[in-house]
Structure 1
Amino acid sequence: MKNLQVNITIDPALYTKNPESSELGRKIVSHSILMMDTLGFESFTFKKLGTAIGSNESSVYRYFESKHALLVYLTSWYWSWIEYKLVFSTLNVPSSTEKLRKAIALITNKVEEDNSFSYINEILLNKIIIAESSKAYHTKDVDQENEKGYYKTYKRVVQRISDMVIEVNPTFAFPHMLISTVIEGAHHQRYFSQHLPALTDAEDDKNTIVNFYTDLVLKTIAI
């Protein structure tokens, strides 16, 4: 996939001006990822971002109305990218179980940089998703934002993999609960392995997190 140039399309409701339409917009996105990873979402501001990219704060607001909107955009971009990889990796897999295995590996494995997108560092973006993405929907406005479609890419990924669960076991009653639990749980385990290792058994060299969640899903849905 390294030589394949892919366009990730983001719903226009998530931005004021499409950041992919200009060099400044792409710079805003790429530097926001670097700064959120370094500073954390709370300490990140548009003023600091403007200084870092040699522009002013108002230029950032032309693309995003708030840093929350920017975080929602980054979250949506990430899940759109995961969806593209999910479709690509399972397209010609005839076995339902093997397709599900690949899907679980994708959502629980460590992220590698994808050179199809020159201005996005997917490794750092994944770290932001793990540490900060819950702040995109843990908000008082979540219901209104959900109605506007702010979280639909994440929901589409969960739906696609839930459909794979049903392919393996059509009688399983809780596919969405299972897959959303796997995604959020894997993120917690990645975070714990880096910061609170006493809370996990994760060992990167043994692919522990992928193996744990693959085993968990297949045993849970076993007929």
Structure 2
Amino acid sequence: MTNSEEKLKLILGIITHNYDSNSKIQDYDLEKLHSIVISESSKSYLVKEVDEINQELVFSPLKSLCKFIGEIILEIKPQFIYPNSLASTLLETAHDQQFFSEHLPKLTDNTARANHKKYVLEYLNLLTFSVLK
């Protein structure tokens, strides 16, 4: 895939779990795993020991993913000065808004209270590409 905007749209689809896939890979139910990520991911770093944990390189995959997304953001808009901040915001917002949409809907604008993943994807696309115009 060569178009950077299409790459970013694909990434947004992946982080919101909006893609066609076999919902089971080997013995793993991807829907259940995704649900765990949505409800538990921020608990991995919102802890008192975050600095010590960070020294052990535990967050390296998260940092690498944000850097990768940030690089694609810069392909779209090279003069954008917050690529890593936007990348990490997109990841966390994907999780937070889906959780809110499902459990605390008044914190979102998902008035239908359905299609949570689709709602979050549409929101992130609007947010992302409005900022990158």
Q: TM-score, normalised by structure 2?
A: 0.84
Structure 1 residue aligned with 2:86:
178
Unaligned stretches of 5+ residues in structure 2: none
- CA shift, 1:114, in A, is 4.5
Pairwise CA RMSD: 2.1
Question: Is 1:217 the counterpart of 2:125 in the alignment?
Answer: no
1:27-49 deviation line (CA, Å, top 9, x unaligned): xxxxxxxxxxxxxxxxxxxxxxx
Find the aligned partners of 1:115 and 1:105 in 2 and give their Cα distance: 18
Find the aligned partners of 1:178 and 1:145 in 2 and give their Cα distance: 23
Find the aligned partners of 2:127 and 2:97 in 1 and give their Cα distance: 14
Larger radius of gyration: 1
* Percent of residue pairs identical: 32
Unaligned stretches of 5+ residues in structure 1: 1-92
Find the aligned partners of 1:154 and 1:113 in 2 and give their Cα distance: 24
Structure 2 residue aligned with 1:155:
63
Number of corresponding residues: 129
Structure 2 residue aligned with 1:103:
11
- CA shift, 1:122, in A, is 2.2
Mapped contact 1:130–1:191 kept (Cα < 8 A): yes
1:14-59 deviation line (CA, Å, top 9, x unaligned): xxxxxxxxxxxxxxxxxxxxxxxxxxxxxxxxxxxxxxxxxxxxxx
1:34-88 deviation line (CA, Å, top 9, x unaligned): xxxxxxxxxxxxxxxxxxxxxxxxxxxxxxxxxxxxxxxxxxxxxxxxxxxxxxx
Find the aligned partners of 2:4 and 2:91 in 1 and give their Cα distance: 20
Greater relative CO, 1 or 2 (CA 8 Å, sep 6+): 2
